[in-house]
């Protein structure tokens, strides 16, 4: 069949050249359509024109390799899309966790601030209580001393052998 097309196209070409007519663009395009390409590709001729078994095997192996490569590429694309979707879901989940943790941190910061204020207030209160206790101890000692002096005056300093002169024996 190819040989017939080649003969007819060669005949058409020789006829137009023999007639001496100038070739117009229309004539050239019609001539090109009928002339087969010198090196037909297997995909354009569909393997029917190739009779060499090695070439057929190579063509089929190339097609199978291309099909496998295309399949691997599609699988890789699906894998990347899956991983991207999982990453987006993880980002969304982590974003909500971050928001929760920030809120929790804010609450803990407030509590910490309140605890510091309470601790400061308690330290001030404790300092006041210690100062008050110290003042009361001094006042007690002063009162004990005054009472001891009063007892000594009441006894008139008459007996120096009594244990009442000792301020530690005073009723407390």
- Single pTM value for the model: 0.41
Of residues 138 and 169, more confidence is placed in 138
Q: Is 135 left (phi over 0), alpha (psi -120 to 50) or beta?
A: alpha
For 5, 6, 104, 116, the CA distances from 2, given in Å and listed in that order, are 5, 6, 82, 98
| pLDDT range class, residue 54, cuts 50, 70, 90 | very high
Mean pLDDT of 10-15: 47
Segment 115-140, tens digit of pLDDT: 999 999 999 999 999 999 999 999 99
Is the pLDDT at 35 greater than 60? The verdict is no
Is the pLDDT at 93 greater than 70? The verdict is yes
Report yes or no: 45 and 56 within 8 Å, Cβ to Cβ: no
Of residues 115 and 8, more confidence is placed in 115
The residues near 7 (Cβ < 8 Å, ≥ 6 apart) are none
């Amino acid at each position: 069949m190819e040989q017939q097309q080649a003969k007819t196209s060669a005949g058409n070409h020789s006829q137009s050249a023999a007639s001496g007519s100038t070739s117009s663009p229309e004539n050239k395009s019609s001539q090109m359509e009928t002339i087969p390409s010198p090196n037909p590709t297997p995909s354009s001729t569909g393997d029917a024109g190739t009779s060499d078994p090695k070439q057929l095997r190579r063509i089929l192996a190339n097609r199978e390799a291309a099909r496998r490569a295309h399949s691997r590429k599609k699988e890789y694309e699906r894998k990347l899309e899956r991983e991207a979707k999982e990453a987006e879901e993880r980002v969304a989940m982590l974003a909500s966790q971050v928001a929760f943790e920030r809120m929790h941190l804010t609450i803990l910061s407030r509590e910490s601030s309140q605890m510091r204020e309470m601790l400061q207030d308690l330290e001030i209160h404790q300092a006041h209580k210690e100062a008050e206790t110290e003042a009361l101890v001094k006042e007690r000692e002063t009162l004990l001393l005054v009472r001891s002096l009063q007892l000594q005056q009441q006894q008139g300093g008459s007996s120096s052998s009594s244990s009442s002169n000792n301020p530690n024996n005073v009723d407390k």
